[in-house]
Amino acid sequence: MKKVKGLIVATFAAYKPDGSINFDLIPAITEHMVAQNVKGIFVCGTNGEGPSLSTEERMQVVEAYMKAARGRLLVFVHVGHSSIREARRLAAHAEAIGADYISAVSAFYFKPNTVNNLVDSMAEIASAAPRTPFYYYHIPNITGIQVDMIEFLELAGQYIPTFAGIKYTASTINEYQACLHYKDGKYDILFGYDELLLPALAVGAKGAIGSTYNYAARLYNEVINLFEQRKIEEAEQLHFHAVKMVQLLVKYGPIPTQRAIMKKVGLDLGDPRLPLQSLNADTERKLYEDLASSGFLELVNSL
C-alpha cells in the first residue's frame, strides 16, 4: 500500500443554531481545505466530535464530505465508538461509499486491558470493511489506553488483513520513531501532534494528521518544504510560530479556541455540543487580541 505523504486535516464539526448538523457548510469547509493544498481530511474524529454524534449523523457527515471532496482529497473516516457493533456499522458504511481509509480509536468506556484485547477489538472493527485500509488511532491522553505500540504492530500485522498503520497522536517521539522503523518501515505511521511536527520530520515522518492544519496548513507545508531543502534553522524559526500559537490553545482550551479561529478565518462552525462549549465573548475577544499581537494569521496568509 502506498504511504500517505503530506498533511491531512482533522475537520471540525459544524452546527446550526438549533444544534443540528450544518451540512450546508461542509462544501465551504472542503473548498477551504483544497485551497490550503492539503492531501486529505480526517472526518468525525476528535475535532469532528464523532463521539458526540449519533451513528446516523456520522454517516450523513461522511457522505457530505465525500460528495464535496469529489476525489480531490483523500478521505479518512474515523469509525471508532465505545460500541464495537456501532463501529462496525460505521466501517461498513465508509467502505460502501468509497472512503479511502478508515481509522478507529479504542473503546473508551469499557477499555481493552491488554495489547491482545486491543488488537482483537480493532480486528473486529476492520473486518466490517475488508477492502479498506485501516489505521489504529492512538491517542492515549484521551482514551487512557497506554500500550506498547511495537507490540501492537506485531500483533495487528498478523490479525488485521487491512492494517495500514497508526495515526500516532502522542508526544513520545522515541516510540514514534521505533514504529516508523518497524520491519524496515512496513507500516504507515502518521504523526498527530502538530506542535511537534518538525521533530517528527527529523526522525522520519512523511505524513501527519492534525487540527491546526485547518487554518495553518500553509505554514506547516512551508516547514516541510524548508526541512526537505535542509534549511533547518529557517524551518525551526517558522515552526516556532506554530508552537506559540498552540500555546494559545492550551491557554483558552484546544477545541473551543480553534473553533473561534475558524470563525476568524471566515467559517463560523456554530456552538459545539455539550460538554464542549464555545468561548464566551470576553474570552474570545482576548484570544483575538492575542492572535492579532502575534501576527500568526497574517503570517500564514502571507505564505
Task: Give the model confidence (pLDDT) of 276-294 as tens digits.
Answer: 999 999 999 999 999 999 9
Mean of all residue pLDDT scores within the chain: 97
CA dihedral 52, 269, 47, 110 (to 10 degrees): -10
Query: What's residue 209's pLDDT?
Result: 98
Q: Rounded to 5 degrees, what angle do the CA atoms 97, 212, 195 make?
A: 125
The mean pLDDT value for 110-124 works out to 96
Annotated catalytic residue, options 65, 135, 136, 137: 137
Residue 188 pairs in a beta bridge with 165
| Residue-wise pLDDT tens digits, 191-208 | 999 999 999 999 999 999
Is 209 annotated in a binding site? The answer is: yes
Phi, psi of 210 (to 5 degrees): -160, 170
Query: What's residue 104's pLDDT?
Result: 98
CA dihedral 114, 179, 243, 65 (to 10 degrees): -80
C-alpha to C-alpha distance for 108 and 129, rounded to whole angstroms: 21
The mean pLDDT value for 115-119 works out to 97
The grid cell for 173 is 517521539
| Residue-wise pLDDT tens digits, 207-262 | 999 999 999 999 999 999 999 999 999 999 999 999 999 999 999 999 999 999 99
Q: What residue ranges define each of the domains in the chain, with the CATH number in brackets?
A: 6-231 (3.20.20.70)
Query: What's residue 248's pLDDT?
Result: 94
Alpha carbon separation from 244 to 76, 163, 238, 241, 289 (Å, rounded) = 28, 36, 10, 5, 14
DSSP code string of 77-128: EE---SSHHHHHHHHHHHHHTT-SEEEEPPPSSS---SHHHHHHHHHHHHTT
Furthest-apart CA pair in the chain: how many Å?
A: 53
C-alpha to C-alpha distance for 207 and 209, rounded to whole angstroms: 7
167 given a catalytic annotation: yes
Q: Which residue has the cell 461522511?
A: 62
Query: What's residue 230's pLDDT?
Result: 97
| Residue-wise pLDDT tens digits, 223-232 | 999 999 999 9
The grid cell for 25 is 457548510
Annotated catalytic residue, options 136, 167, 187, 252: 167
- Residue 174 pLDDT > 80, yes or no? yes
